[in-house]
Amino acid sequence: MIEHVWRRTAAARRVDAVLVATDDERVAATVDGFGGVAVMTSADHLTGTDRLAEVASELTADLIVNVQGDEPLIAPQAIDAAVGVLVDHPEESMATLRRRIDDVSDLQDPSVVKLVVDHRGYALYFSRASIPFVRPGLDAPTAWRHMGLYVYRREFLRTIAALPPTPLELAEGLEQLRVLEHGFHIATVETTVDTIGVDTPEDLERVRRLVEAGARP
């Protein structure tokens, strides 16, 4: 699975280098085996953001992209869209992706992270619960799912990682809430590209079927 993620990320036009951050020697060996570059990190990190910040401290790149290792179908064009937010808007420090929810069952699935945004596209909140609540008789606003990809300015990433975990972050198990709880913005961009995060054995089987059927970036 990690090789699929690596190859799709490497295919993004706005990505100059791909590193796999891990604390597991087996993952590092697998990455070395297919010609990738693995960076060993501390095993004490609570979140991927914290792990990424350790690696970023040794880099000079202005922008750091976090593609999670459980996204084997991530599309290169989706990565480019998120990077483009920070390239085109120097005032932004962090960006991520959102996609319209078409399957209403996703609203009740805690493995599908939902978000609400303001009129400028900034994230207001992320949740595993169905948000927003819609009162009877009113039209429902667009429902969004979060796609777990982040782009940070390097110094902002290090700032966030140095902050303590927050109550909502711990309650929801969503590290991006640390950013919002500390008063920072997260810019979001809509994408129509879909992906499947592998959170359950059922997700893994779906991905295997798609790969066997010839799913491509």
- pLDDT tens column, 10-29: 999 999 999 999 999 999 99
The candidate with the shortest Cα–Cα distance to 177, out of 56, 47, 76, is 47
Rounded CA-CA distance 66/68 in Å is: 6
Instruction: Please write down the HEC assignment for all residues of 63-84.
Output: EEEEECCCCCCCCHHHHHHHHH
CB 34 within 8 A of CB 53: no
pLDDT of 26-83, one tens digit each?
999 999 999 999 999 999 888 888 999 999 999 999 999 999 877 777 889 999 999 9
| Domain 47-212: top CATH class | alpha beta
pLDDT per position as a tens digit, 135-187: 999 999 999 999 989 999 999 999 999 999 999 999 999 999 999 999 999 99
**Domain residue ranges of the chain, discontinuous segments joined by +:** 47-212
pTM for the full predicted model? 0.86
